Amino acid sequence: MKLNKEILKTRPVFSPEGRLDASNAGLFKSRLNEEITAEKEIVIDLSRLEFLDSSGIGALISIHRKCDKERGGLKLVCQHDRIRKVLELTRADRLFDIYDEAEAAAGSFLK
């Protein structure tokens, strides 16, 4: 899995590409936990994901908890119906603020 990073409205936006599953969820979580030390408010854009399983959702939940512990925040961007459906079926959509666009997610921290 490739992990891209860009800055929008002074907030880091991380975009994993490919699959977020048991084979790479631990690495994904560890890389983002390092970033949370420097940046407490982050956006994860799931638009480039092809597949998300329960291990990937577990990693997202862990990252969300770390952001909360650091008094920060995590916003998700999800444009694909199949990824959003996985979040809904697992009820993870109730935990996260989910946006259609990265600009809107990054801008929501400024309010």
Q: Above 70 in pLDDT, residue 38?
A: yes
Distance CA 90, CA 72 (A): 24
Report pLDDT for 40: 84
Cβ-based neighbour number of residue 32 at 10 Å: 24
Q: Kindly report, residue by residue over 12-31, the tens digit of the pLDDT.
A: 999 999 999 999 999 999 99
pTM comes to: 0.93
Q: Which domains does the chain have, with CATH numbers?
A: 2-110 (3.30.750.24)
Q: How confident is the model at residue 100 (pLDDT cuts 50, 70, 90)?
A: very high
